[in-house]
Amino acid sequence: MRKASKSYLWASMLLMVLSTIALFFYVRWLLKQEVEEELFSAEARIESAIKAGQHPGSLSPIIEVNEVDELKTAFTKDTVIYDPSQDEMELFREFSTYKNINNKSYKISVRVLVVETNQILWAIILSYIFIIFLVFVFQFYLNKSNNKKIWNPFFYNLEQMKKFSLLSKEPIQLLDSEILEFSELNKEIALLSGKVRDDYENLKQYTEDVSHELQTPLAIIQAKIENIINGPSVSEVQFNQLASIQKDIQRLTQLNKRLALLTKLENHQYTHRENIDITDLTAQIIANFNEISTISLTFEKTNNIIAKMDPYLAEILCNNIISNAIKHSTHKKPINIEARNTLLSVSNFGLMPIANPQQLFTRFYRETNEFKSTGLGLAIVKKICDLYGYNISYNYIKDHHCFLIDFAPPEAARK
């Protein structure tokens, strides 16, 4: 609408300038023709008077009749002559002609004050500009008002589309319009939004069904393998093979759970939020890991970090970032965890920095094949941080891999 109004504004201004210029030259030509016609008429009347035996006297500077010795060609010109009535030099339009009347030669000069015609010309032009300007302003605001009324359904429907959510069960509410194109657009938007919501629900249901159905056979296979391992007739070779299969099944189970979690995160299914004490949650997770891990975890805090998020996602976030450090810590060196202001840092010893840090939070990325992991732990951490607007970063500092999560609320939330 702004672009249309701007185009209308420039087009109107260009038209006004061109029409003003054209009117100026046309009116000036008309006035010139009128002045010369008046001069010719006055000269004809003087000539008729002389033929009738009358000798009109000169009325300087308007009329001058003089006898001359020879006839010359008639001419028209602008001339500056002293006007006694104004006591100043004035511009006149002069028509001079030579006539032989009653066997005598006369020079007849008739003049008209040009200043008056210029005043008339500029009066007409200024009046025209003023009228056109008023019409232009009136049309501009009328056009703007009409455009706003016409485009109001479009902008309303645009806002509804911005607020559209796949999680909402309510159909999108669109405003009807008398414009055929807008009406057809509304129909297509309604159909498209309904189809997108149906496809989303089908995909969501499929993902949940697949994730749920995989859990049962994996659990059954796991239980059967444990029964076989615990049986009396298992050789050492068979035991090692079954133990390896058991680890792969556990990894597959974890992979299934994490992929389902990532899908829910991408679909924004976690809408519940409450204030979570990240510091206390981290301390609990560290205590749990210290009971089962041979690597020491140290924890320092200067204050409690409070984050508004889903409790389940908060636990997964802290658990994944710490378990990742334990998994990739070399030489059994201690892992340092610190909570300061809004920052939670986790650092573990490493002989060399990561080769491709830009891919660190990518799904299934592994720096080496030394560790049999799903490759989804850090990807889930990044998704959770993105969901709440938290910032996570990685740096290699003094032989340590350092992960830093800033739980400060995003700028939009602060405002």
| The predicted structure's pLDDT at residue 248 | 75
122 and 9 within one domain: yes
Rg (CA), the chain: 48
- Is 169 part of a structural domain of the chain? no
What average pLDDT does this structure show over 212-223?
73
Q: Is the pLDDT of residue 415 over 50?
A: no
* Residue ranges making up the domain that contains 355: 274-414
Q: Tens of pLDDT along 19-62? A: 888 888 888 787 777 777 777 777 787 777 777 766 666 666 67
8 — pLDDT class (breaks 50, 70, 90): low
What average pLDDT does this structure show over 302-327?
88
- Is 200 part of a structural domain of the chain? yes
- Is 155 part of a structural domain of the chain? no
CA-CA distances (angstroms) from residue 67 to 59, 99, 107, 108, 158? Answer: 15, 10, 6, 9, 88
309 and 284 within one domain: yes
372 and 395 within one domain: yes
| The predicted structure's pLDDT at residue 368 | 60
- The span from the CA of 311 to the CA of 272, in Å, is 8
Tokens linked to 402? 């350092």
Average pLDDT, the chain: 78
Q: Is the pLDDT of residue 159 over 60?
A: yes
Tokens linked to 158? 């645009």
- Is 129 part of a structural domain of the chain? yes
Largest CA distance in the chain: 159
The tally of domains found in the chain comes to 3
| The predicted structure's pLDDT at residue 85 | 67
Cβ–Cβ under 8 Å, residues 377 and 388: no
| The predicted structure's pLDDT at residue 320 | 87
Which of 106, 136, 166 is a domain's end point? 136
- Expressed in percent and rounded to 5, the helix, strand and coil fractions of the chain are 55, 20, 25
- The span from the CA of 408 to the CA of 318, in Å, is 16
Q: What percent of the chain has pLDDT over 90?
A: 1
Q: Is the pLDDT of residue 411 over 70?
A: no
184 and 100 within one domain: no
| The predicted structure's pLDDT at residue 213 | 65
114 and 98 within one domain: yes
**189 Cβ contact partners less than 8 Å away, ≥ 6 residues apart:** 157, 161, 172, 174
- Is 387 part of a structural domain of the chain? yes
pTM assigned to the model = 0.49
Most confident among 43-52, 229-238, 299-308 (mean pLDDT): 299-308
- Is 255 part of a structural domain of the chain? yes
Among candidate residues 109, 88, 103, the one with its CA nearest the CA of residue 43: 109
Tokens linked to 357? 């840090």
Q: Is the pLDDT of residue 381 over 70?
A: yes
Phi, psi torsion values for 325, nearest 5 degrees: -65, -40
Lowest mean pLDDT: which of 3-7, 30-34, 52-56, 118-122?
A: 3-7
| The predicted structure's pLDDT at residue 413 | 42
User: Of 285 and 352, which is predicted with more confidence?
Assistant: 285
Q: Is the pLDDT of residue 209 over 70?
A: no
Long-range contact set of residues 100-104: C-beta below 8 Å, sequence gap at least 24? 100/71, 101/47, 101/50, 101/51, 102/50, 102/51, 102/53, 104/67
Q: Tens of pLDDT along 55-89? A: 666 666 677 888 888 888 888 888 877 777 667 77
User: Of 394 and 81, which is predicted with more confidence?
Assistant: 394
372 — pLDDT class (breaks 50, 70, 90): low
Strands (E), 18-71: 63-67
Q: Where do we find the tokens 């990325």?
A: 365
Q: Is the pLDDT of residue 373 over 70?
A: no
Q: Where do we find the tokens 């308007």?
A: 62
The CATH number of the domain holding residue 402 is: 3.30.565.10
Q: Which residues of 111-147 are buried (b: 16+ CB within 10 A; e: fewer)?
A: bbbbeebeeebeebbeebeeebeeebeeeeeebbeee
What average pLDDT does this structure show over 208-220?
70
